[in-house]
Amino acid sequence: MQSKDHIFAAPIAQLGDFCFDQNVAEVFPDMIKRSVPGYSNIISAIGMMTTRFAQPDSRLYDLGCSLGAATQEMRRNLTQPGCRIIAVDNSAAMLERAASHLAAFKSEVPVTLTEADLCDIEIDNASVVVLNFTLQFIDPGQRETLLGKIYRGLKPGGVLILSEKFVSHDETVNELLIDLHHDFKRANGYSELEISQKRTALENVMRPDTPELHKTRLKRVGFQHVDLWFQCFNFGSMVAIK
């Protein structure tokens, strides 16, 4: 049985910053499905891109893996021999659960689960790198360094799939997309209180960029082919090919 997300359902007197603790890890599949429009489409597409971009004897990285949904989809769609998936997260609670989720499926593909900050890991011999709703939690001043490290760790022809919450450079459109996202959450059973408390809790920890900034930065670190392949309201996903 999957647990339902009630984290922000009751009024919280001293609302702290959102963090990926045990309570969040426990309800995470329900939370992400009801909060991120297009999430399941993006996970499926990560599998499809794995089939196309994985190279023999290379590594595939799932950076900010949470419970390993993208790792599992990559593993299921991997057809090339000699590959290993490296799934990284700095939340011990997430990684513990990722290990048991992944153990529930049979697979020949080796997976290494690593508890670390993405800013401290090495990326090497990579054919596929996934940042699925993770870069938005990294300190803005460190984003370009991380993307540069990913670029250098990729093999020629390798791909980065970067999914993020976006802000629009047009203030009117930005407000519209935020409102539509809140409608989406309401339609998925979240109350006004849950929506507003979570919004406040995320304010200091999730700092989204515009799609334009993402594209310019990806090009600046070296990626030759960059574009948005999916967007639903203020959530979307980009592809960057070395």
Ligand X SMILES: Nc1ncnc2c1ncn2[C@@H]1O[C@H](C[S@+](CC[C@H]([NH3+])C(=O)[O-])CC(=O)[O-])[C@@H](O)[C@H]1O
Ligand Y SMILES: O=C(O)C(=O)Cc1ccccc1
Where does this chain bind ligand Y (CB under 6 A)?
31-32, 35-36, 165, 198, 202
Exposure string for 113-130, b = 16+ CB within 10 A, e = fewer = bbeeebeebebeebbbbb
As a whole number of angstroms, the distance between CA 3 and CA 26 comes to 7
Beta carbon of residue 202, minimum distance to ligand Y (angstroms, whole number): 6
As a whole number of angstroms, the distance between CA 131 and CA 147 comes to 10
As a whole number of angstroms, the distance between CA 206 and CA 13 comes to 21
Per-position x/- string for 138-157, each x denoting binding to ligand X as judged by CB under 6 A, each - no binding: x-------------------
Our CA angle for 30, 31, 37, nearest 5°, is 100
Determine the interface stretch with ligand X among 78-86, 99-107, 126-134, 228-236 (rule: CB under 6 A): 126-134
Determine the interface stretch with ligand X among 7-15, 88-96, 152-160, 212-220 (rule: CB under 6 A): 88-96
Q: Which of residues 11-50 bind ligand X (CB under 6 A)?
A: 20, 32
Nearer to ligand X by C-beta: 119 or 170?
A: 119
Q: Which amino acid is at 227?
A: D
Determine the interface stretch with ligand X among 99-107, 133-141, 174-182, 234-242 (rule: CB under 6 A): 133-141
Distance, CA of 97 to chain centre: 17
Beta carbon of residue 20, minimum distance to ligand Y (angstroms, whole number): 8
Strands 154-165 and 235-241: antiparallel
Which residues are at the interface with ligand X (CB under 6 A)? 20, 32, 64-66, 69-70, 88-91, 94, 117-118, 132-134, 137-138
